[in-house]
């Protein structure tokens, strides 16, 4: 009696011929290399996006460090740090006001011995918005200087008193009624004709105390004042609309402007230190 038929042997998988294996090897290696390159490129792209996303922060912090190093040559590093921080507080007032007006503003950029600037496409939709943006810097900057005065009162150290005095002076200087200074921005809503008085004051200051910074402000201010006044006198509809400010708003701008000047003068008087005269 015969048993059940033996199962058919399972055919062994055919091995690829040597030439096909050799061909597949380089292709596989090339594919792996491409995948690895794509992964590396993706990681690099993420790092690049991260870097460029933080570029503005790096620009601000880098320019702050350069300014601190520059001012340290004159005042020492401690006072230089304090001065640059006061500049930062002042400029952040402009940044906050611009963003409240719906205008995208850059982070502050510091220029040694020139101060700091904030870049924006506009200063708002009208002269009143420009005045708010202009006055926001001295308002917040004055608060920062007053904070130094509080620290000086608590600690009783002349360092903070001198820093407060410098902050008060810095913000008072910026209230001179000439563009591109903050006081000139306020005059756009209050009394544009005051630009000429401010320009005359800057020119007189440049003659009495020759200084590159004051000279630059005088030149830039002269160009902007005459350009603005020409457009204002031209009387086109866009310009008239820009400078159309209600009397009530003019009064409010004037109160803030004059109140700031009075507070800063009082602050400078309170923090003025008599220089010791060697015997």
Q: Is residue 31 part of a domain?
A: no
Could you count the other beta carbons within 10 Å of the beta carbon of residue 167? 30
* Residue listed under structure tokens 């590159």: 212
- Residue 10 above 90 pLDDT? no
Q: Is residue 60 part of a domain?
A: yes
Q: Please, are residues 105 and 94 in contact by the beta-carbon 8 Å criterion? A: yes
Q: Residues, the chain, total?
A: 279
Q: Is residue 206 part of a domain?
A: yes
Structure tokens at 270: 């309170």
Q: Is residue 214 part of a domain?
A: yes
Give the pLDDT of residue 71: 93
Counting the structural domains of the chain, the total is 1
Q: Is residue 260 part of a domain?
A: yes
3-state helix, strand, coil in the chain (%, to 5): 75, 5, 25
DSSP state letters, 159-174: HHHHHHHHHHHHHHHT
Give the tens place of pLDDT for each residue, 190-206: 999 999 999 999 999 88
Q: Is residue 44 part of a domain?
A: no
Q: Please, are residues 93 and 138 in contact by the beta-carbon 8 Å criterion? A: yes
Could you count the other beta carbons within 10 Å of the beta carbon of residue 107? 18
Give the tens place of pLDDT for each residue, 82-101: 999 999 999 999 999 999 99
Helix (H, G, I), strand (E, B) or coil at 105: strand
Q: Is residue 112 part of a domain?
A: yes
Q: Please, are residues 218 and 202 in contact by the beta-carbon 8 Å criterion? A: yes
Give the pLDDT of residue 94: 95
Which helix (H) or strand (E) segment holds residue 10: the answer is: none
Give the tens place of pLDDT for each residue, 161-182: 999 999 999 999 999 999 989 9
Domain that holds residue 184: 54-271
Structure tokens at 207: 């003659």
Q: Is residue 160 part of a domain?
A: yes
This prediction has a pTM of 0.76
């Amino acid at each position: 009696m015969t048993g059940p038929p033996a199962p058919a042997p399972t055919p062994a998988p055919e091995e690829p011929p040597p030439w096909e294996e050799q061909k597949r090897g380089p292709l596989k290696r090339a594919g792996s290399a491409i995948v690895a390159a794509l992964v590396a490129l993706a990681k690099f792209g993420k790092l690049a996006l991260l870097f460029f996303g933080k570029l503005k922060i790096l620009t601000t912090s880098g320019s702050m460090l350069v300014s601190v190093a520059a001012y340290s040559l004159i005042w020492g590093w401690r006072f230089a740090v304090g001065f640059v921080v006061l500049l930062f507080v002042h400029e952040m007032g402009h940044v906050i006001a611009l963003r409240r007006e719906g205008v995208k503003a850059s982070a502050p950029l510091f220029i040694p011995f020139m101060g700091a600037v904030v870049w924006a496409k506009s200063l708002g939709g009208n002269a009143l918005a420009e005045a708010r943006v202009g006055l926001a810097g001295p308002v917040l900057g004055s608060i920062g200087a007053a904070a130094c005065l509080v620290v000086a009162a608590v600690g009783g150290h002349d360092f903070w008193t001198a820093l407060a005095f410098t902050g008060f002076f810095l913000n008072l200087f910026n209230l001179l009624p000439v563009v591109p200074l903050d006081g000139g921005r306020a005059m756009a809503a209050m009394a544009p004709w005051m630009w000429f008085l401010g320009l005359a004051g800057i020119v007189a200051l440049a003659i009495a105390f020759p200084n590159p910074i004051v000279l630059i402000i005088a030149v830039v201010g002269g160009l902007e004042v005459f350009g603005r006044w020409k457009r204002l006198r031209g009387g086109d509809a866009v310009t008239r609309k820009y400078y159309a400010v209600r009397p009530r708003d003019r009064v409010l701008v004037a109160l803030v402007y004059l109140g700031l000047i009075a507070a800063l003068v009082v602050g400078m008087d309170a923090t003025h230190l008599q220089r010791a005269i060697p015997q």
